[in-house]
Structure 1
Amino acid sequence: MEGYLNISHTRVRYGENEILKGIDLSVRKGEFVALLGSSGCGKTTLLRTVAGFNTPTEGTISIGGRDVTRQPPDKRGMALVFQSYALWPHMTVDQNIGYGLKLRRVERDAARQRIDEMKALLGLQALGHRKPAELSGGQRQRVALGRALAINPDILLLDEPLSNLDARIRLTVRHEISALQRRLGITAVHVTHDREEAMVMADRIVIMNGGEIAQAGTPQEVYNRPNSDFVAAFMGAENIVEIDIEVSGSSIGISEGRNNRKAVIDRGDRPLVSGPAIARFRSETVRMTAAADAASGAQRDGLVLTGQVAQVSYPGGLWRHVVHLGDTSLIVDAATRFEEGASVDITVPDTALYIFPRS
């Protein structure tokens, strides 16, 4: 896919360590893309490479057909909002927002008008004369965003800009940034380790692992159709059981095991072959009932697991159960509390099962 921002075969090495291992990614004009992954996966290195702070050892980066691979950061038409905000502590809000305009020698009246526009856009009209120390975390974040947007960048780069905010403010600000990006139609690339943040803000999520792209797609695609065991686990399907499967036409047969009943489920578009496999599922997608005698024949309403409740807690909304299946432990959320020691059946609908070959 050819886009507005194109990253082609990009590799970055630090000494003997290859941090980015041949990244290919295109971002459409006006698209909001989240780079999602755990620490050390390469997402921040990729963002800094796009910004011009790292030089690729191989590959190219282009914007609107213009090769910027070797250009310095200030020539790329981008603006970066840092995790720390990087505001000048001795400058006022107005001076911080106008800093990029001053560097570009924008005429004073035009700069004043642009600063006022940014303050109005971000709800900072009454704070122009305050310094960063006099602002809340959310206000400082808005000032940093205003400084980035004041120069009319072609691309807005966001390096975990919400990680320093407390949880309540973060929920509000993530929606503000997302709404602002859509209203302005600006192209944005956002680095985050927060799955929910990426889900609610981005048009497309790029999940990174070990310097490579594990999967890219809409939030719905990567959440509902993970393409690997790693992506399924990263997107919240942390429960895992080992099974043996037999693939036949449009069906998958699951053999009876020590902790599961025999079952037949719809194959769908799963690219599987017969043999040892693993099944992943999320804690809230299952149905838990008191253990019943095993029914004759194969279950057809999903995978049925049998176990014993080991621990119960109430994090809010649903009861959380730790269920032991032999040596395996599962987390199961249910509206009903099951007592510790209770024998239970856990039914996982086939639509909630993510099955991958066992390596």
Structure 2
Amino acid sequence: MDEVGFLQLQGVASRYGATQVLKDIDLSIEKGEFVALLGSSGCGKTTLLRLIAGFNSPSSGTVRVRSRDVAHLPPDKRGMALVFQSYALWPHMTVAQNIGYGLKLKGMPRAQIAEKVSAMQALLGLGGLEARKPAALSGGQRQRVALGRALAIDPEILLLDEPLSNLDARIRLTVRHELRALQKRLGITAIHVTHDREEAMVMADRIVILDAGRIAQEGTPEEVFNRPASSFVAAFMGAENVLTLDGTRDGETFAIAAGPANAATAVPVGGRPLVSGTVEARFRPEAARLYPDAQSVPDAAGIVFHGTVAAVSYPGGHWRHVVMLGLGENHSEILADADRSFAPGERVAVHVPADALFLFNT
């Protein structure tokens, strides 16, 4: 990224009364980039989007577009358009009237509005629906109308506040790819708020993960998925299995000590800032592999746990097992996938490859 991006936030903070919602946000977004703001409810992602749009004012910091400070400008003077989660369509207006609403407010001649609306309907596959009102449209069609209204004013920056969350799962997958293809085709800069990890992964050029009002990590989907910077990011990106281990750093190797459920092993540090001592180990269920005994585990870098299958289910495409490690009060449970079902009560070995094992000092 260039030091100065097309859209730049520096030292941005936001308060609601005594509550600090955003803290020291520094973010640079390039022209034509698709950025996803990802995080759980209450992390500050929607507040950040509304602050960029101009509906909220920062308590400190600057917001610049093309190096011009826009923090003092109202929303309609920033060259941005916001698509709301609820779509916020006028129920008494037709599709054509909703799409052309922003153009009408700008005082554009009626003939030009009609031409622009027609082009937008064709672009979004809404041809023939111009006379319908929102109540007569499907969820996917209403989403396209809201998008058309935003794009009709030719914004430099498109802001999306979880616009797919009201769609059913099948339509959401289709609209996801349509929206991404449209953004690339138009070359528009897009900032998309979502709590859906997969949605961010398949749509964004870059993911910005927020935690308690701060940026926990930013990077490409591959970077944040495979190289999480913290235990929080690892958990949010699906590495929900968590165990406490002890180890010693020796150069670029981290030697994991034997424990109640694992043999001693060593894994590459892999650029992580690890020091000797107690570590939190995280990994994804799909990264783990089950074997009937330790002898059948492949000779590959990683760690092997020994446990007993407590439960098994079939979510589709694989079998998911709850495996109990250890006994008594010190036992813990992990999730691990396999191509076949292991019976409850069966003793198993669980192998986690080194590159799928995320270690963080506690």
Q: Is TM > 0.5 for Structure 1 vs Structure 2?
A: yes
The share of aligned pairs that are identical, in percent, is: 62
Say if 2:31 is the partner of 1:66.
no
Flag structure 1 segments of 5+ consecutive residues without an equivalent. Answer: none
What's the counterpart of residue 166 of structure 1?
Answer: 168
Which runs of 4 or more aligned residues in structure 1 lie more than 3 Å from their structure 2 counterparts after TM superposition? 292-295
Q: Deviations over 1:288-332 (max 9, x none)?
A: 11133799xxx8631011111000111111001001113211011
- Over the residues paired in the alignment, what is the CA RMSD in angstroms? 1.3
Say if 2:225 is the partner of 1:223.
yes
What's the counterpart of residue 209 of structure 1?
Answer: 211
The Cα of 1:226 is off from its aligned counterpart by 0.3
What's the counterpart of residue 28 of structure 1?
Answer: 30
Q: Is the 8 A contact 1:310 1:340 kept in 2?
A: yes
Q: Deviations over 1:105-159 (max 9, x none)?
A: 0111111111011001000011000000000000000000000000000100000
Counterpart of 1:348 (choices 331, 340, 352) is: 352
SS state of the match for residue 248, structure 2? strand
Q: Is the 8 A contact 1:92 1:131 kept in 2?
A: yes
- Structure 2 Cα separation of the partners of residues 12 and 270 of structure 1: 32
Counterpart of 1:49 (choices 23, 48, 51) is: 51
Which amino acid is 1:129 matched to? A
What's the counterpart of residue 340 of structure 2?
Answer: 336
Q: Deviations over 1:156-197 (max 9, x none)?
A: 000000000000000000100000000000000000000000
SS state of the match for residue 222, structure 2? helix
- Structure 2 Cα separation of the partners of residues 188 and 294 of structure 1: 49
Q: Is the 8 A contact 2:300 2:353 kept in 1?
A: no
Say if 2:310 is the partner of 1:310.
yes
What's the counterpart of residue 13 of structure 2?
Answer: 11
- Structure 2 Cα separation of the partners of residues 162 and 114 of structure 1: 25
The Cα of 1:70 is off from its aligned counterpart by 1.3
- Structure 2 Cα separation of the partners of residues 33 and 260 of structure 1: 40
- Structure 2 Cα separation of the partners of residues 155 and 283 of structure 1: 38
Which amino acid is 2:176 matched to? R
- Structure 2 Cα separation of the partners of residues 47 and 31 of structure 1: 15
- Structure 2 Cα separation of the partners of residues 265 and 111 of structure 1: 63
Q: Deviations over 1:215-259 (max 9, x none)?
A: 000000000000000000000000111111111122111100011
- Structure 1 Cα separation of the partners of residues 163 and 240 of structure 2: 27
Superposition pairs of residues 1-359 of structure 1, within 5 angstroms: 1-292=3-294, 301-326=301-326, 327-358=331-362
Q: Deviations over 1:258-311 (max 9, x none)?
A: 11111012222122111110111110112211133799xxx8631011111000
Q: Is the 8 A contact 1:264 1:300 kept in 2?
A: no
Q: Is the 8 A contact 1:261 1:294 kept in 2?
A: no
- Structure 2 Cα separation of the partners of residues 239 and 81 of structure 1: 36
